[in-house]
Each structure stands twice: as C-alpha cells, then as structure tokens.
C-alpha cells in the first residue's frame, strides 16, 4: 500500500487529472451518473468527479476512505446541493440491506483491496431491482497485454494509490451474482476499460 505521503500526492494528482479529463471521458461520466435514480450510494467518490452529472432529484450518499481525497473533494462540492459525504470502506458498508436504488462505482474496483468483498457488499445494500453503475479499467483480453499489465502492476500500484491495472473486473462483477447490461468496452489512455450497468442476477429482466 502507498504511504500516507503517497496517498496525499495521489489525491493531488487525481484532482488535477480529473479537472483535465477529455470531453469523451466527461460524456461517459455524464451518461453513467445521469442514470442514477432514487437513493444513491457512490463508493470511493474521490474528488467528486461524478457530482456535476448527477440528476437533481437523487438522494446521494458518498463514501471515501482516503482523507486526502475527502479534503480535496470538499473544494468541489456543488453549491446548493445536498450531498451526504462520509468516511467509509466499500468492503464493509455501514448501511442496512436493500437500502439503495443505485450504487455508482467508477475507477474504484481497481483500487479496493478485496473487490469480491466490495461487490458482495454492493449487492447486499442494493434493493431488489437496484443497479450498479460502473466504469473500470480492466485487464487486457490478449495474452501479451495481460503479461504487460501484470509486469507494470507493482510499480503502478505504488504510484497510483493502490490501483491494480490487471484485474478481471467484469468476471468479478458476474461472479458476485450480477447480470451485466449495456456493457461497453473502451480505453482509458492505453488501458482497456469497461462501463455499464449490472443488476443482482435474480432481478435481471
Ligand atoms: C482512481 S480513484 C477514483 C475516484 C473516483 N471514483 C473517480 O471516478 O474519479 C480510486 C478511489 O477509490 C478509493 N478507494 C480505495 N479503496 C477503497 C475502499 N476500500 N472503499 C471505497 N473506496 C476506496 C480511493 O480512495 C480513491 O478515491
């Protein structure tokens, strides 16, 4: 895990990067966060990059375990908007079962130490018929790409706030009992990425 100086530097870097996202990335955030409905939980909200895209009528709770991210996010709180922001860990959510209509997780399952535990928790707190909205960079599908991502992971993780660029996150979402809808594949810089919506499998249409 990165040191706390590492976390502070990463939060500053992420803040800068988030303010300089491409128009395509902003459109993607708008498409994803814009689908949120009802009571919404965002895991690992970072510096709040999805906030400008949330529908006005959602009831939003965000959790973020990194104090440096939380401090930076405060600077980007949209004026006049009620956002319930808390310290928290996606692997042990401090919310009752079936308490959210939507969970948003963007670029976060690469960093959570145990993504399977986080996905179990997300499933637990989603209401029947609720939706997980996700955007994640993921492992390559081709062998050469997997080898390359595996090779850079130790250093990448050290400078990238604990991020693992070589996770099979789509498989992890499905293994956690979600049915994935509207899966889209793309890239974030050179990294393969996926986005979409997933519902607890028994509630899938
Ligand atoms: C690359 S940043 C992405 C931030 C934001 N979701 C976004 O889309 O810009 C990864 C985030 O995951 C958060 N994170 C790491 N471990 C976590 C955990 N166990 N539970 C919730 N969030 C976590 C980090 O603190 C960081 O804010």
Nearest residue by C-alpha to atom 13 in ligand 1: 44
pLDDT value for 204: 45
Low-confidence ranges of the chain (pLDDT < 50): 1, 203-205
Residue 66 CA to ligand 1 center (angstroms) comes to 8
Q: CA-CA distance, 181 to 16, in Å (whole number)? A: 32
Mutate to test the pocket of ligand 1, among 108, 165, 169, 189 (most ligand atoms within 8 A of CB): 108
**Res 16: pLDDT:** 97
- Check residue 3 and give its pLDDT: 62
Positive or negative torsion for Cα 125, 130, 133, 138: positive
Tell me which residue has its CA closest to atom 10 in ligand 1: 108
CATH number for 57: 3.40.50.150
Summarize pLDDT for 60-69 with one digit per residue, the tens: 999 999 999 9
In this predicted model, what pLDDT tens digit does every residue of 41-79 receive, in sequence order?
999 999 999 999 999 999 999 999 999 999 999 999 999
Cβ-Cβ contacts under 8 Å for 142 (sequence gap 6 or more): none
- Total domains in the fold of the chain: 1
Check residue 6 and give its pLDDT. 82
What domain range includes position 65? Answer: 4-203
Residue ID of nearest Cα to ligand 1 atom 14: 44
């Amino acid at each position: 895990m990165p040191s706390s100086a590492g976390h502070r530097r990463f939060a500053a870097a992420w803040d800068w990067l988030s303010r300089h996202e491409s128009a395509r990335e902003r459109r993607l955030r708008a498409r994803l966060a814009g689908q949120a409905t009802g009571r919404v939980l965002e895991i690992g909200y970072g510096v709040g990059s999805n906030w400008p895209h949330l529908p006005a009528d959602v009831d939003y709770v965000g959790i973020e375990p990194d104090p440096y991210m939380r401090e930076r996010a405060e600077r980007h709180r949209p004026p006049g908007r009620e956002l319930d922001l808390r310290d928290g860990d996606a692997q042990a959510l401090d919310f009752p079962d079936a308490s959210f209509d939507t969970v948003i997780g963007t670029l976060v399952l690469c960093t959570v130490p145990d993504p399977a535990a986080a996905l179990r928790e997300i499933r637990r707190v989603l209401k029947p018929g609720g939706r997980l909205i996700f955007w994640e960079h993921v492992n390559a599908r081709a062998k050469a790409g997997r080898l390359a991502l595996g090779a850079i992971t130790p250093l990448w993780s050290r400078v990238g706030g604990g991020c693992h660029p070589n996770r099979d996150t789509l498989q992890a979402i499905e293994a956690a009992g979600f049915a994935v809808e509207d899966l889209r594949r793309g890239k974030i810089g050179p990294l393969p990425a996926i986005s979409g919506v997933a519902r607890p499998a028994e509630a899938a249409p």
